[in-house]
């Protein structure tokens, strides 16, 4: 009974850790940040939902992202600028509700303190798109790191794809 309670508590904490508390309402019609800011015309045009997460630093709902259970061979690139961020080799099933990786492509992801004072935010090193958060010390993998990433912030490019990322 005690082990079930501990597991339930850990799962609840993991879900709460990844969820953004600034705006749980996914009504994107009120977003006031322009998608194309001056000097950013090289970036993809974003939908209101993508803009909410990538520009306004929101969070998609857990277990709703299209890459949560993806196990195919390939690379995950930034939805906004197309730069490679993570490889399939570093993805693992954390059961937290968002795609999880224990490593990023070197130099691809920046970390900074989250405004909530509790977490560490991650963003694309190239275009500063919000990706999610990074957690250390959870012991999910030998690397002891979990990049908890919003699916909506990425595009998966299968290894056998000949299509460009831009």
Active site positions, annotated: 148
List phi, psi (to 5°) of 12.
-65, -45
Phi and psi at 135, nearest 5°, equal -125, 140
Sign of the CA dihedral with 113 first, then 118, 122, and 128 last: negative
Report the alpha-carbon distance of residue 103 to residue 142 in Å, rounded: 11
Compute the distance between CA of residue 75 and CA of residue 118 in angstroms, rounded to an integer: 29
3-state secondary structure of 152: helix
Q: Enumerate residues 6+ apart whose C-beta is below 8 A from 116.
A: 21, 22
């Amino acid at each position: 009974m005690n082990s079930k309670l501990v597991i339930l508590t850990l799962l609840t904490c993991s879900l709460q850790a990844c969820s953004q508390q600034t705006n749980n309402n996914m009504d994107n019609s009120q977003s006031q940040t322009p998608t194309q800011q001056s000097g950013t015309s090289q970036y993809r045009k974003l939908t209101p939902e993508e803009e909410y997460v990538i520009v306004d630093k929101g969070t998609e709902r857990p277990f709703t992202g299209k890459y949560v259970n993806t196990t195919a061979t390939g690379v995950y690139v930034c939805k906004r600028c197309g730069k490679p961020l993570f490889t399939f080799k570093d993805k693992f099933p954390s059961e937290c509700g968002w795609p999880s990786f224990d490593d990023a492509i070197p130099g691809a992801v920046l970390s900074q303190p989250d405004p909530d004072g509790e977490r560490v935010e991650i963003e694309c090193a190239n275009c500063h798109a919000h990706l999610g958060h990074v957690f250390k010390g959870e012991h999910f993998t030998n690397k002891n790191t979990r990049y908890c990433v919003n699916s909506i912030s990425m595009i998966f490019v299968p290894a056998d794809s000949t299509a460009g990322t831009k």
